[in-house]
Amino acid sequence: MSTGKTRPPIGNEKLISKLRDKGITSEMVLDAFRKVPRHLFVDGAMYAQAYDDNALPIGEGQTISQPSVVALMTELLELGKDDKILEIGTGSGFQTAVLAQFSRRVYTIERHRLLGEAARKRLRDMGYMNVVFKVGDGTRGWIQHAPFDRIIVTAGAPVTPESLANQLATGGLMIIPAGERKNQQLFVYRKTEQGLISQSAGNVVFVPLIGEHGWKD
C-alpha cells in the first residue's frame, strides 16, 4: 500500500470534522482522508471548495463525489490491508487514492481516456505505486485479474451488472449505486457460497454508469 508523498493541508482536518458529523466513525477511513489532499484532485478554480462536502465537476461531464459519500462507501467496504480491489470509475483519482491507503492492489477502470491518463499521472506523481490503471468499459469488469475481494462502482447503474458480481470473490463485498438514471439506492452486496446478499445504505445520486452492462451513452 502507499500513503503518497504529499503533506496534507490544514483544510483536511476541517473535512475530517465534517465527516465525523456525517456519521463516519472508522478511524482508518478518517486517517486515509488525512493523507489525501482533495484540492489536488480538482481544477485550480475549485481549490476554495475542495474541502467542502460537495461534489465538484472534473470535466468530461463527470464529478468528484462529495467526501461524505466517498467516506461512507469506503467504510462500508470493510477494507483489510490484503484486499484486492476493483474500482469502476477512476474519475480524478480521489477515491482511488483513499482505497490505496488500505489495499495491496487497486485495479481501476475509467471510460474517459483523458480523465484516466490524468489520474494515472497524478497518482504516480504523488507516490502511489499499488494502483493499476485501465481505460475501457468498466461494466465488463477486469476478468484477467478476477476474483476481487472488494468491488466499488462510482457511477449509477440501472441494475447491478452480473459481469461484476461474477468477478467478486466468495466472502467479498461490492458497493454500487443502482436505480433510476438520476436517483439511486446505494447497495452493499456480500457474496456467500449460496449467492449474493444485499442491503441498501440509502439514497444517492451519481453520474450514470455507461457501458455494455449499464446505461447507453
Q: Write the single-letter amino acid at 151.
A: I
- Sequence-distant contacts of 113-121: CB under 8 A, at least 24 apart: 114/59, 114/60, 115/58, 115/59, 115/60, 115/62, 115/90, 115/91, 116/90, 118/92, 118/93, 119/90, 119/91, 119/92, 119/93, 120/93
Query: Beta 105-110 vs 168-180: how paired, if at all?
Result: unpaired
- Tell whether 213 is covered by a domain: no
Residue 97: in which H helix or E strand, if any? helix 94-100
Kindly indicate the confidence band of residue 11, based on its pLDDT and cuts at 50, 70 and 90. Answer: confident
- Tell whether 179 is covered by a domain: yes
Residue 118: which of 107, 133, 101 has the closest Cα? 133
- Tell whether 195 is covered by a domain: yes
* Chain position carrying cell 477502470: 109
Q: What percent of the chain has pLDDT over 90?
A: 87
- Tell whether 89 is covered by a domain: yes
Number of Cβ within a 10 Å radius of residue 132? 13
Q: Which three cell numbers stand for residue 160?
A: 447491478
Number of domains in the chain: 1
Summarised one tens digit per residue, pLDDT across range 95-118 is 999 999 988 899 999 999 999 999
- Tell whether 173 is covered by a domain: yes
Number of Cβ within a 10 Å radius of residue 78? 12
Summarised one tens digit per residue, pLDDT across range 144-157 is 999 999 999 999 99
Summarised one tens digit per residue, pLDDT across range 158-214 is 999 999 999 999 999 999 999 999 999 999 999 999 999 999 999 999 999 999 999
65 as an active site residue: the answer is yes
Give the C-alpha separation, 174 to 190, whole Å: 7
Summarised one tens digit per residue, pLDDT across range 68-99 is 999 999 999 999 888 999 999 999 999 999 99
pLDDT at 81: 85
- Tell whether 138 is covered by a domain: yes
- Tell whether 209 is covered by a domain: no
Give the C-alpha separation, 74 to 28, whole Å: 10
Q: Which three cell numbers stand for residue 188?
A: 452493499
pLDDT at 9: 55
Give the C-alpha separation, 27 to 50, whole Å: 21
pLDDT at 134: 98
Give the C-alpha separation, 178 to 120, whole Å: 27
- Tell whether 6 is covered by a domain: no
Summarised one tens digit per residue, pLDDT across range 20-58 is 999 999 999 999 999 999 999 999 888 889 999 999 999
- Domain span including residue 162: 11-204
pLDDT at 6: 47
Kindly indicate the confidence band of residue 2, based on its pLDDT and cuts at 50, 70 and 90. Answer: low
pLDDT at 102: 86
Q: What is the CATH number of the domain that holds 32?
A: 3.40.50.150
Set 2, 17, 65, 163: catalytic member = 65
